[in-house]
Structure formats: C-alpha cells, structure tokens
Amino acid sequence: MSMTLTQKKIGHEYVDADEDNIAAKMVDEFEAQVTRLYKDKKMLRQVHTKMHGCVKATFAVEKGLPEELREGVFKKSKNYHAWVRFSNGNTKPQKDRKKDIRGVAIKLMGVTGEKILNDKHSLESQDFLLMSSETFFAKSIGELSKLLSAVTAKSKLKKLFYFLNPMHLPTLMRVNKSMIACDNPLNIPYWSTQPYQFGNIKNSVKYHLRPSPENAIIVENTTDYNYLKYNMAQTLNDNEAKFDFYVQFQTDAEAMPIEDPTVAWTSQFVKLATLTIHAQVFDSNAQMEFGDNLSFNPWHSLPEHRPLGSFNRVRKRIYETMSKFRHDENKLAVTEPMDSPDFLRDILIPKRKTAIDQQVPSKKILQTSAEVIVNCDKEKAYKYVSSVKELPNWLMKTGPIYGIINVTTLRGNWEKVGDNRLVKRGDSATLVEELITVSHYAHYAYQTTEFSDIFKHLTNKTYGQMWFDTVNDQTRLRWVYTFTYRSIFAKLFLMIFIPLFLKKYLQNGLNNAKAYLED
C-alpha cells in the first residue's frame, strides 16, 4: 500500500516503497560498525549495548479486565515469569552520568501460541521493548537512516557534515531531548514510542511502564562509571520494585499517527498488568553474561500484539539479522530461555526497614570516601567489617588519628536499626555509633554522636556508610564518611582535616580489612 492523501484509518499502516532498501542499507552499516568496534573481542549489541542488569520478574495480568481488553497475553488473569533487561541506548558504553536513552526489554515466558517470527513458532515467550522517552527522535525511517549513516560511519568527516547541516537540526534537537539523566533504572518511566496491534487490525496501542511511587529506591551514588548497576543491585537486595503496565489506544488516526513516532498520543492510559521485579542478586558475571547474550525483538510476539509502523517493520529485519550476526561472531547459538516451576527459587524475601539511607544529609556537609576491591563474596566481607569483635583488628592508627582499642555494645549486637555501641580510641577518646540503616550483605549506615574530644566542638553528628558491591565476582568495599559542622570555623578546620588525615585513615582501615579477608 503506498502513501496517499486520503483520510487515515485507525490501526492502519502506510508503507513506504523504499523501506526494504533502507533496512538493507542500515544492516550493512551496522555490521561494518560493530565489526570495527569489536575486532578480536566479544561482539556486543549495536544499540542498548551497556546493560545494568538482567533480572527476574513476574508479569501479573489484572483480574476482571473488560472483554475488549482480553487479547493475547492479557486474555486471562495470569502471572507470567519474565526476564527484564535494563540498559543504556548508546552504541559505545559510556559513563552512566552522561545523558542517554535508557531502555527496558521484557521477555515473558510461558506464552503459548504461534509467534510471528518464522523460525520461532514453537517458543513460548513474548517480548516488549520500551525506552525512557515518550516519543522517538526521527519522524521517518529515511530521516533515521541519514542520522545512523553519519554516526556509524568510519569517516569522522561524514559525521561532521551531518551535524553541521542545518536541515538536520530538528532531528538533533529531538535526539537531545530524548536523552535523560537517571539515578536508578528502577526509578523512571518507559514508553514503547512505537505502536502495536491489540487483538485485531481495528485496534492499535502504545505501551507504557510506570514505576510505583511506593518503591523504595536506593541510590549509593551517581558518580561511578557503572553506578546504575550498583544502585539497582543495592535496591533489589532488600526490596522489590513494581511497575504498572499500561496501553494507550489510538483514538484518532490523524492526531495519533501510526507512521510518525515523534507525535505523542493523547488518549488515556489503561492499566493491564503489574510488573514486579523481585528482590534478588543479579550481578554475578554469569548472569550478566546471560543477559548480554539474550536477544529481544518486538516481532517475537503473538499475532494479537503485532508491531505496527515503518520503524517496527525495519526493526524486524535489522534485529533478526544483527542478532544472528552477533551470535555467529561470538560462536553462540541463538536460544530462548524456557520457563520452569523453580524460576523464582533464588529470589530474596524483601525486608521491612524502619529507616533508609535518606537520613544521611546531603546539604551543609563535608564528605570523603575510600574503597577497596576484596577477593571474597559480599557476605564474608560484610560479616567481617560489621563485626563488633573485629573492629579493633582492622581500624588501626593512621597519622594523628588513633585506632580503635575497645568496643562495648550498648544495645543489640550491631545487626539491626537502633543497635548502638561505645567506641574507644587509643587516645582514650570515646564516641557512640548507632545503626540507622541495615541491608544485610549490601549496606549499612550509622550516625556518630557523644564525642569526648575536640570533635564535640566541631560537629553535632557524623555519619558513616558502608557499601558492598559486586565487581567481577569480587566485593568492592566502599566507606563514605559525612560531617555536619557547627560553624564556619569548624567547617574550615574540617576542610583541612578530612582530605589530609581522615581519608587516609579510612583507606588504611579498608586495606587492613582486605588483608585479613584475603589471608
């Protein structure tokens, strides 16, 4: 069907005669780019390359949906097991603090029925792909092709000419608008941007995934190269994260076009399901590699959820070809994960906490940190560092700061919020530490008061935070120490004391802990 000037119809596609040529050109350019980028090493995806984690989830279809909403995977109330992959969109992995298009790919399992892709009829899964922008940045596949031809080109001159051409400014402005900052992948909404059939050809929808406001989100920091993975892992250590899954129906074919994804649809959002990402540990090397090897394709779908529009039609060819190309280069078979009754056997039980890390102030403070990589698992590192008995063995004198010589528990045993202890240093100075956050084997935070030395004149309270992150199947132990200050004179003194003496004290303490743990 060629493009006409007649009035458009709900749910109908309008095919550009040049789509096949554009798709073939994109495939050639993508293959050339990834071949250059990954010569003699593992080939990664061409887009959404940097993964933050691939996690286990449950996709629960709403009970009592009206008959007109019972289509495809939503035909009946059911809980599907799912794999969910979070990623950054940029081709070349970069620092998480840089603005980017963030992506989420959902693979439901146990979805029976014939699928659209010719070679995947028997597989029981359904994919949904969404991104962190409500609209796409290119109005047509021709416009997209010109942009991608420039950014994937080997020649930097070709890229420069594209960016200097004023005709391309609207596209570049939309690209810039699509890229966002993010502190945790579990903390932002996602949209499909592209339309999909819903049941029959008379209905088309877009998808929307919205995080629950009840989610407890942990943000360790926003400075690490891979902080999105660390923050997601810290959150899922003790918490589950829920998202509401909505569809948005096309109600006006002109105002809500199928073929132009730069236009936001204005119809209401209708909730069809809840996606629950369970508390879990997902950051082992084995599971990260599993997620990187998975393939997601909007056309891996029941016919009731058939992708619509020129961008989806081009994606079909590109995703299939590039997935096979990547797997062949890596000498891996293209396989789909299968559902099993014990899929959720290793999830964690969420724990209710009476305090969270937001109690540590973020304004009018002075802060420093130290870290070390330890060749052991997080549980072993956590138990050693948090042990009341072991504290004097690793927190020793450094420069003018005396080490710990004695610890007396006042309440509890330094295991749960509210437990406190009296700490005595080698110069006989004392202070009281109290736990304000506990997430076993991942993080704890404490506040320090009742100083007996000069610090009682400088600060009312200090805070320590111990973070335990998995890095290449080892443990990164990170100690963050925060000072409040009583006056401008106290601030000036602490600004000298902290970098010259305290930072070394923290670092030497962690080095000592590493030596004990690895011995």
Q: Is residue 352 part of a domain?
A: no
Copy the structure tokens of residue 519: 């011995």
Spell 220-239 as b/e; 16+ CB within 10 A means b. Answer: bbeebebbbbbbbbbbbbbb
Region of 308 please: left (phi>0), alpha (psi -120 to 50) or beta.
Answer: beta
The residues that bridge with 421 in the sheet, in sequence order, are: 409, 433
Structure-derived torsion over alpha carbons of residues 356, 244, 231, 470, reported in degrees to the nearest 10: 110
The segments of the chain whose pLDDT lies below 50 read 1-4, 357
Shared-domain flag, residues 96 and 227 = yes
φ/ψ of 490, rounded to 5, equals -65, -40
In 3D, which of 360, 362, 195, 346 has the Cα closest to residue 284? 346
> Which own/partner pairs from 254-258 qualify as long-range (CB within 8 Å, at least 24 positions apart)?
254/7, 254/8, 257/8, 258/8, 258/11, 258/12, 258/13, 258/14, 258/195, 258/204, 258/308, 258/309
Q: Is residue 91 part of a domain?
A: yes
- Per-residue pLDDT of 342-399, as tens digits, reads 999 999 998 766 555 457 888 899 999 999 999 999 999 999 999 999 999 999 999 9
H-assigned helices in 355-418: 378-385, 391-394
Q: What pLDDT, on the 0 to 100 scale, is given for residue 348? A: 92
The residues that bridge with 110 in the sheet, in sequence order, are: none
Shared-domain flag, residues 296 and 416 = no
Please classify residue 122 by burial: count the beta carbons closer than 10 Å to its beta carbon, then call 0-12 exposed, 13-18 middle and 19+ buried: exposed
- Per-residue pLDDT of 49-63, as tens digits, reads 999 999 999 999 999
Q: Is residue 67 part of a domain?
A: yes
Q: Is residue 2 part of a domain?
A: no
Q: What pLDDT, on the 0 to 100 scale, is given for residue 119? A: 67
Q: Is residue 476 part of a domain?
A: yes
Shared-domain flag, residues 71 and 182 = yes
Alpha-carbon span 108 to 69, nearest angstrom: 18
Q: Is residue 10 part of a domain?
A: no
How many C-beta neighbours within 10 Å does residue 255 have?
12
Shared-domain flag, residues 94 and 42 = yes
H-assigned helices in 440-500: 488-497
Q: Is residue 115 part of a domain?
A: yes
169-178 and 141-151 helices cross at what angle (nearest 10)?
80
Shared-domain flag, residues 184 and 96 = yes
Q: Which of 280, 313, 329 is the last residue of a domain?
A: 329
Shared-domain flag, residues 265 and 389 = no
Q: What pLDDT, on the 0 to 100 scale, is given for residue 117? A: 85
The CA-based diameter of the chain, rounded to the nearest angstrom, is 88
User: Which CATH number fits the domain that encloses residue 198?
Assistant: 2.40.180.10
Question: In terms of residue numbers, what domain contains 492?
Answer: 357-518
User: Which CATH number fits the domain that encloses residue 491?
Assistant: 3.30.530.20
Query: Domain count of the chain?
Result: 2
Alpha-carbon span 51 to 53, nearest angstrom: 6
pTM higher than 0.85, yes or no? yes
Residues in the chain: 519
